[in-house]
Chain A
Amino acid sequence: MKLHKILMAASMLFATSAALATPATDELFARYKSEGATGFDAARGGQNWSKETRGEDGQMMSCASCHGKDLSKEGHHHKTNKVIQPMAPSANKERFTDVKKIEKWFKRNCNDVLARECTAQEKGDFLKYLLSK
């Protein structure tokens, strides 16, 4: 009985995690692994997501500065105020379906917030975190 429950829980976990990916993110996870990343972690991604660094204009910045705290809602560009569609795939079906687009924005936004590009590990962690939203 106990084993049965564990199996059920495990299969449910598997089912949810299987739903939390797209062909694009599968491709990227594989790519990041080939670049040396190991074991992606949503919690670590979440911590990095809200970690603040000082931007070049002296203001504190994190991913949340533009994407907002609730990822199922729209964000706003910190300078132009332009609306940014929700990051959570549960609220925005188009998220994380295009490898080129994901990589383009990682490059730009890591440079803007961290003043450097993100590592394969960091990108994978971010994706895991965002896919869980």
Chain B
Amino acid sequence: MRTNYKAALLAVALLMSSGSALAEENFWLWLVNFSRQKEVKPVDNKTYKDECGSCHFAYQPGLLPGKSWAKLLDEKALADHFGEDASLDKETLKDIYDYTMANAAEKSFYKRSRKIAKATEDGDAPLRITEVRYIKRKHHEIPEKMVKGNKDVKSPAFCNACHTKAEEGIFDEDTVDIPNFPNRDHD
């Protein structure tokens, strides 16, 4: 009986400590959630996929915190979306806004989103995925010639140029294939 009690105490302590890496308010939610997963939750909203994905890779909402989405998905901001008019009618915009709020990095139970949430907790909301510290660090060692200097990549913002499973929300290194650099480890 006594050992059982000790084991239970130890288990709780372990769970608490592993959870401390997560935002505290979400700890119990995280604990009972069965969809804790690696990677990033794939896009599962048709309006989002159609509207955002018609011009660029449909970045998963879990790649940025809610405060970033709120800045990006503002009526005025969208009229000049990185130099382009991406205006949406009110109804469509609301759908997309609500979807990103519900699935933003800090709301997600996916591992990479949790890391992004943590990296963006303090400071200004990044407007570009490439400004997120965690993502920057992950790409830190890749030489410029493979990205900016690569005519089939051009910018680190084009996730799916190299991440072959980006659309499924998988960004694992094993799924990377840099165009024009088939043997990147040796270049």
Interface residues of A (CB under 8 A from B): 56-57, 77, 79-82, 100, 104, 107-109, 111-112
Assess whether B55 is interfacial by the CB under 8 Å rule.
Answer: yes
Across the two chains, which residue of chain A brings its CB closest to B51? A104
Mark contacts of B2-22 with chain A using CB atoms, 8 A cut-off: 1 yes-contact digit, 0 otherwise. 000000000000000000000
**B:45-80 near A, CB below 8 Å:** 54-57, 79
Evaluate whether A112 and B85 lie within 8 angstroms (CB atoms) in the complex, with A81-B154, A81-B158 already known.
Answer: yes
Say how far B159's CB is from chain A's closest CB, in angstroms: 11
Contacts of B79 on A, CB cut-off 8 Å?
Answer: 111
Mark contacts of B118-140 with chain A using CB atoms, 8 A cut-off: 1 yes-contact digit, 0 otherwise. 00000000000000000000000
A81 vs B158: C-alpha distance when bound (angstroms): 9
Which of A56, A100, A107, A108 meets B83, CB within 8 Å?
A56
Contacts of B141 on A, CB cut-off 8 Å?
Answer: none
Which of B55, B83, B158 meets A57, CB within 8 Å?
B83
A3 vs B55: C-alpha distance when bound (angstroms): 52
Q: Would you give 24 A-B contacts (Cβ < 8 Å), ordered by A?
A: A56-B83, A57-B83, A77-B55, A77-B56, A79-B83, A79-B84, A80-B55, A80-B56, A80-B57, A80-B158, A81-B158, A82-B54, A82-B56, A82-B57, A100-B89, A104-B87, A104-B88, A104-B89, A107-B85, A108-B84, A108-B86, A109-B85, A111-B79, A112-B84
